[in-house]
Amino acid sequence: MKDIAIVSFAQSDCVRNAGAKNEVELIMPVIKSALGAAGLSTAQDVDFTCSGSCDYQQGAAFAFVLGVDALGAVPPIKESHVEMDAAWALYEAILKIRMGHADSALVYGFGKSSPGELPTVLSQQLDPYYLAPLWVDTVSLAAMQARMMLDQGVMEEADMAAVVARSRRNALANNPHAQLKGEVAVEQLLAEETWVSPLRKHDCCPVSDGASAMVLCTVEKAREWGKPYAVISGIDHRIETHNLGARDLTRSVSTEQAAAVAGVSDGAIEVAEIYAPYSHQEIILTRALGLGSETVVNPSGGVLAGNLMMASGLSRIGEVAQRIINGDIKRGLAHATSGPCLQHNLVTVLEAA
Amino acid sequence: MSEEREMITGIEVPIYLKYHFTAGEATARFLSQVRQGKLVGQRCPSCNNVYLPPRGSCAACGVATTEEVEVADKCTVESFTIVYIPIPGNPIQPPYVIANLIPDGANISFIHLLSECDNDTVHRGQRVQAVWKPQEEWDYAMDNIRYFKPLDEPDVPSESIGKVPVTGWEV
């Protein structure tokens, strides 16, 4: 099987409202930057392009098709799209390369969530007969999950606040693209009122607009281009039932399984970038991934510092890949999630060449 | 237990989602100039094609378009169709002509109505000009132009369609 390398990554700032910018205007700068870092200029220079986005976010039908205007797709290119986080667009690109249909690929994701009411919009991803008609929003579902964990004694509110305090601190130190950052004490956070009990507003990721992009290729191609790269040594994703009542919401079985197949425990994990939209979910995921104190979790601040729906999962992978490309670390993992209460999870292990 | 149950063939699940939709920076700029009665496209810095309406990028080259170019309201018919079927909610009575039009000074077509014309003789290469609404009715919309009507000018040959300068068509 061909080894696959990530050679470049670019992400926009996470902003609460990108204003008048449309999908093309959001995507173009990160695509240009990711291609440029790989020594390329347009999508013509790679064999395959795949994107991740969801039209429900900005309320514009077929917005992902208009996004192709950012690519320079004349003459026509090989192109695909997932109505998911772009971490899964990366997964599709990996399959394409492994099957021998491409040696290089551009992957990008974008989200403009500001035009709608995101938690309500996301209620429409639930099962259409029982749950979607009830309009259960994602924050309420996450709150029920957190309540279950508190009542079972698997965490305390101070543990959740500690996740938030670390996110804000890491974002301040390491992430120029972050929307929320700063020094804040656990006691300060606990003094705030609950929003959707037991969640306080800071336990929930912000709503953000923006995009991210990545160039990957076979290791042979990366050597040919003469670019430093990070190797994807393992990747797997698993999905759980849409019936929330049939799941143990206090753990993430799908993450445990994906981590085992991706080979997380085959070596030390220096850095883990985890897609946890709510503070308590980072606690679930750190446990599911079997991470200990030797791992730095979410040095970027994670998505509590800024959440580009449909690009955040790709950005987690990019955050780890970039640290390997820069020579800061040798081995790390990235996690992406989709669906309510961590329904669907993807784990990627990245290593230095 | 042999009681027959009514087959459920559908359920009603209304969806109401509210959005503050934005057209995009380039399109918003275009619409604000249409409100002033001007057609302003954007030029690709790479291939020099002028797009109208602009979307902020050259779809062919994949680069941002920033240079604004005012084009004429005189156009050449690139293609057309005659609509005979009534479309629900559309106030226009069939048959009517919808055409791909390329304004003088632009290279890419947009779609608008042709009227005050003989439907049987509409043709590719035909010269047409905008018929604007009265200025006090102008809004952020392309229907500030009611329709396009034929001009008494010679046709543009096939190979020159989309290459007419903003100064117009001279034989």
Each residue's pLDDT tens digit, A239-288 = 999 999 999 999 999 999 999 999 999 999 999 999 999 999 999 999 99
The ipTM (two decimal places) reads: 0.84
Give the one of B21, B26, B57 whose C-beta lies nearest to A70's C-beta. B57
Whether A124 contacts chain B with CB within 8 A: yes
Per the CB < 8 Å rule, is B60 touching A24? no
Which is the CATH superfamily of the domain at A4-118+207-230? Thiolase/Chalcone synthase (3.40.47.10)
Gyration radius from chain A CA atoms: 19
Q: Which residue of A has its CA nearest to B14?
A: A133
Q: What's chain B look like in SS3?
A: CCCCCCCCCCCCCCCCCCCCCCCCHHHHHHHHHHCCCCEEEEECCCCCCEECCCCCEECCCCEECCEEEEECCEEEEEEEEEECCCCCCCCCCCCEEEEEEEECCCCCCEEEEECCCCHHHCCCCCEEEEEECCHHHCCCCHHHEEEEEECCCCCCCHHHCCCCCCCCCCC
Which residues on chain A are in Cβ contact (under 8 Å) with B55?
A: 22, 24, 66, 69
Q: Look at residue B102 and tell me if it is in a domain.
A: yes
Task: Give the pLDDT score at B89.
Answer: 87
Q: Which residue of A has its CA nearest to B21?
A: A115
Position A23 confidence tier, pLDDT thresholds 50, 70, 90:
confident
Please give the distance of CA A123 from its chain centroid, rounded to a whole number. 19
Task: Give the pLDDT score at A20.
Answer: 85
Which residues on chain B are in Cβ contact (under 8 Å) with A24?
A: 24, 55-57
Per the CB < 8 Å rule, is B13 touching A132? yes
Which is the CATH superfamily of the domain at A133-176+186-200+233-352? Thiolase/Chalcone synthase (3.40.47.10)
As a whole-number percent, the residues of chain A with pLDDT over 90 amount to 91
Per the CB < 8 Å rule, is B17 touching A19? no
* pTM summary value: 0.93
**Residue range A157-209, pLDDT digits in tens:** 999 999 999 999 999 999 999 999 999 999 999 999 999 999 999 999 999 99
Per the CB < 8 Å rule, is A59 touching B19? yes
Size of interface A-B (CB pairs under 8 A): 86
Spell out the domain ranges in chain A: 4-118+207-230, 133-176+186-200+233-352
The minimum CA-CA distance between A58 and chain B, rounded to whole Å, is 7
- Which residues, given as ranges, of chain B have pLDDT below 50? none
Same CATH fold assignment for domains A4-118+207-230 and A133-176+186-200+233-352: yes
pLDDT at residue A51 is higher than 90 = yes
Could you tell me whether strands A104-112 and A209-218 are parallel, antiparallel, or unpaired per DSSP bridges? antiparallel
User: What total number of domains does chain B contain?
Assistant: 1
Whether A63 contacts chain B with CB within 8 A: no
Q: Look at residue B113 and tell me if it is in a domain.
A: yes
The minimum CA-CA distance between A21 and chain B, rounded to whole Å, is 4
Which residues on chain B are in Cβ contact (under 8 Å) with A133?
A: 11, 13
Give the one of B18, B24, B62 whose C-beta lies nearest to A72's C-beta. B62
Q: Print the domain residue range for B58.
A: 25-160
